[in-house]
Amino acid sequence: MPPTGRPEPGRPGPRDRRDRCPGALRPWAADDGLLVRLRLIGGHLPVDALQTLLGAAERYGDGRVHVTVRANLQLRGFPGTDARLDPEAVDALEATGLLPSRTHELVRNVMVSPGTGLSGGRADLRPVAAELDQLLLAAPHRAGLPGRFLFVLDDGRGDLLERTCDLGLVALDEHRAQLRVGQGRGPVVGLDEAAEALVALADRFLERRGQGPSAAWHVTELRDPLTEPVPPDPRSPPPEPPLPHGPVPGGGRHVPVPDAGLDRAAAGALAEEARAADGSALVVTPWRGVLVPGGPVTGAPPGPAGPHAPVPGVHVPGGRP
Does residue 3 have a pLDDT over 80? Answer: no
**Residue-level pLDDT at 119:** 92
Task: Decide if 243 is inside a domain.
Answer: no
Tell me the average pLDDT across 122-148.
Answer: 97
89 and 127 assigned to the same domain: no
**Residue-level pLDDT at 31:** 85
Tell me the average pLDDT across 177-187.
Answer: 97
52 and 123 assigned to the same domain: no
160 and 65 assigned to the same domain: no
Q: Give the separation between CA 282 and CA 61, rounded to whole angstroms.
A: 22
Task: Decide if 14 is inside a domain.
Answer: no
Q: How confident is the model at residue 101 (pLDDT cuts 50, 70, 90)?
A: very high
Q: Give the separation between CA 92 and CA 95, rounded to whole angstroms.
A: 5
Higher pLDDT, 50 or 321: 50
Tell me the average pLDDT across 161-179.
Answer: 98
Does residue 48 have a pLDDT over 90? Answer: yes
Tell me the average pLDDT across 188-195.
Answer: 98
168 and 213 assigned to the same domain: yes
Task: Decide if 183 is inside a domain.
Answer: yes
Task: Decide if 122 is inside a domain.
Answer: yes
56 and 142 assigned to the same domain: no
Q: Give the separation between CA 166 and CA 221, rounded to whole angstroms.
A: 10
CB-side exposure of 292: number of CA atoms within 13 Å?
28
Tell me the average pLDDT across 106-123.
Answer: 96
Give the range of the structural domain holding residue 191, as residue numbers without chain letter: 116-221
Task: Decide if 152 is inside a domain.
Answer: yes
Write a three-state SS string for 42-104. HHEEEHHHHHHHHHHHHHHCCCCEEECCCCCEEEEEECEECCEECHHHHHHHHCCCCCCCCCC
Higher pLDDT, 249 or 196: 196
263 and 173 assigned to the same domain: no
| Conformational region of residue 303, where left means phi above 0, alpha means psi within -120 to 50, and beta covers everything else | left
Does residue 320 have a pLDDT over 60? Answer: no
Q: Give the separation between CA 221 and CA 215, rounded to whole angstroms.
A: 9
| Best mean pLDDT range from 29-33, 181-185, 297-301 | 181-185
Q: How confident is the model at residue 16 (pLDDT cuts 50, 70, 90)?
A: low
- Whether 85 and 27 have beta carbons less than 8 Å apart is answered as yes
**Residue-level pLDDT at 89:** 95
Q: How confident is the model at residue 78 (pLDDT cuts 50, 70, 90)?
A: very high
68 and 124 assigned to the same domain: no
86 and 165 assigned to the same domain: no
Does residue 161 have a pLDDT over 70? Answer: yes
Task: Decide if 208 is inside a domain.
Answer: yes
| Residue 214: CATH number of its domain | 3.30.413.10
Contacts of 315 (CB under 8 A, 6+ apart): 258, 260
126 and 194 assigned to the same domain: yes
**Residue-level pLDDT at 163:** 97
| Residue 61: CATH number of its domain | 3.90.480.20
213 and 262 assigned to the same domain: no
**Residue-level pLDDT at 255:** 97
122 and 191 assigned to the same domain: yes
Number of domains forming the structure of the chain: 2
**Residue-level pLDDT at 308:** 36
Q: Give the separation between CA 280 and CA 288, rounded to whole angstroms.
A: 20
Q: How confident is the model at residue 17 (pLDDT cuts 50, 70, 90)?
A: low
- What is the DSSP secondary structure assignment for residue 200, as one 8-state letter? H
**Residue-level pLDDT at 15:** 60
Cis peptide before 301 (omega within 30 of 0): no
**Residue-level pLDDT at 23:** 94
- Whether 271 and 51 have beta carbons less than 8 Å apart is answered as yes
207 and 287 assigned to the same domain: no
Tell me the average pLDDT across 228-257.
Answer: 95
Say which range, 28-42, 197-211, 287-301, has the weakest mean pLDDT: 287-301
Say which range, 6-15, 45-54, 94-103, 152-161, has the weakest mean pLDDT: 6-15
Q: How confident is the model at residue 122 (pLDDT cuts 50, 70, 90)?
A: very high
Q: What is the pLDDT of residues 258-282, one digit of tens each?
A: 999 999 999 999 999 999 988 899 9
**Residue-level pLDDT at 18:** 67
Task: Decide if 35 is inside a domain.
Answer: yes
Task: Decide if 108 is inside a domain.
Answer: no
Please say which residue of 221, 241, 260 terminates a domain. 221
